[in-house]
Amino acid sequence: MDTVSNQLDAEAREQLPSPRQIDSNPWLKTWALRAAWIAGVALLAFIAIWQCSDCFSLDYLASQEGELRAFQSNHPYLLYGIVFVLYTIGFAIGLPLAALMTIVVGWFFDFIPALILSSVGSSLGASLTFMTSRYFFRERMEQWLGSTMEKFQTQLEDSAAFYLFISRLIPQIPFVLVNLVMGLSPISLRTFFWVSQLSMLPVLIIFVWIGGALPSLHTIADEGISSVLSWQLMLGIAAMGIVPLLIRLGLNYYKTRDESDSEHSGQRAWCD
């Protein structure tokens, strides 16, 4: 049995790549570095969660909410400015928690201040990414894409604002990707900013509304998760699916009518 076990161990060691093979093979080296990086991040995350397990309890978060509310009452403009900067940076770097950030802003602040913060902050963050793409990556992308880049700019020359508006209404398209692509188009920063504000405003209103429907953490801790449910929350969730659909139907109707008018104009010109 020992002989068979030793043979199996020897065969297993032969199948594993040696350090020399890893150094000579770029793919193995890259794979090994990624595996080590993922393992390190997972270990740090486990240690952080283990050490801060009490930080995720509802009672602890409720106490922190009380301290934050007290800070807001003493320094309202300072806290508003800090949240605005963090919110703008989050949208600029394309954090995947943009919807959650907007809901939290709507939960903490009143409706109008929260809507102003989220509307201006999201458009400003998008504009920062837009300008970064235009002034730092445009030449490299033009060299890389060549004639394709020229065709892309020609197609968007007259309808960049329309494509931007449509892209904002499609949740499958990443927010930061739209900003980067539009930075390569001929659209001006001013047009990009106001179109972004206009196209994102309905969704931001819904998210801020949902945030405002959520109770305080103290209420949730005292009354349970059932305190979260309300008609305002249900209405906001329903609007998340209905409003973008209505906007797209309206745009499709407008596009169809515009094409129909163009065809009728062409037929009249041919008859004349």
- What is the extent of the structural domain holding 103? 59-267
Q: Is the pLDDT score of 185 beyond 90?
A: no
The more confident residue out of 225 and 7 is 225
Q: Tell me the C-alpha distance between 92 and 86, whole Å.
A: 10
186 belongs to a structural domain: yes
Count of C-beta atoms within a 10 Å radius of residue 8: 10
Confidence check: pLDDT of 36 > 80: no
211 in Cβ contact with 104 (< 8 Å)? yes
Of 90-94, 130-134, 146-150, 190-194, least confident by mean pLDDT is 146-150
Residue 143 domain-assigned (yes or no): yes
> Above 60 in pLDDT, residue 253?
yes
Q: How far is residue 111's CA from residue 40's CA, in Å, rounded to a whole number?
A: 42
> In this predicted structure, which of 71-75, 83-87, 184-188, 254-258 has the lowest mean pLDDT?
254-258
Residue 51 or residue 211, greater confidence: 211
Give the dihedral of Cα atoms 187, 190, 194, 199; nearest 10 deg.
20
Number of domains in the chain: 1
Residue from 201, 180, 174 nearest 97 by CA: 174
In a domain, 128, yes or no: yes
- What are the angstrom distances between the C-alpha of 57 and each of 53, 64, 100, 220, 224? 7, 11, 19, 12, 13
Confidence check: pLDDT of 140 > 80:
no
Q: What is the pLDDT of residue 105?
A: 92
If you average pLDDT over residues 191-209, what whole number do you get? 90
Report percent pLDDT > 90 for the chain.
19
- Reported pTM: 0.67
Residue 24 lies in a domain: no
DSSP code per residue over 173-230: S-HHHHHHHHHTSS--HHHHHHHHHHHHHHHHHHHHHHHHHS--HHHHHHH-GGGG--
Residue 253 is assigned to a structural domain of this protein: yes
Domain annotation covers residue 204? yes
The average pLDDT across 255-266 equals 61
Token pair, residue 138, equals: 């445009």
- Is 217 within a domain? yes
Confirm whether 54 is domain-assigned.
Answer: no
Locate all alpha helices (DSSP H) within the chain, ordered by sequence.
2-15, 19-24, 26-51, 58-74, 76-92, 98-108, 111-132, 138-145, 147-156, 160-168, 175-183, 189-213, 217-223, 231-271
Residue 51's pLDDT is what?
Answer: 54
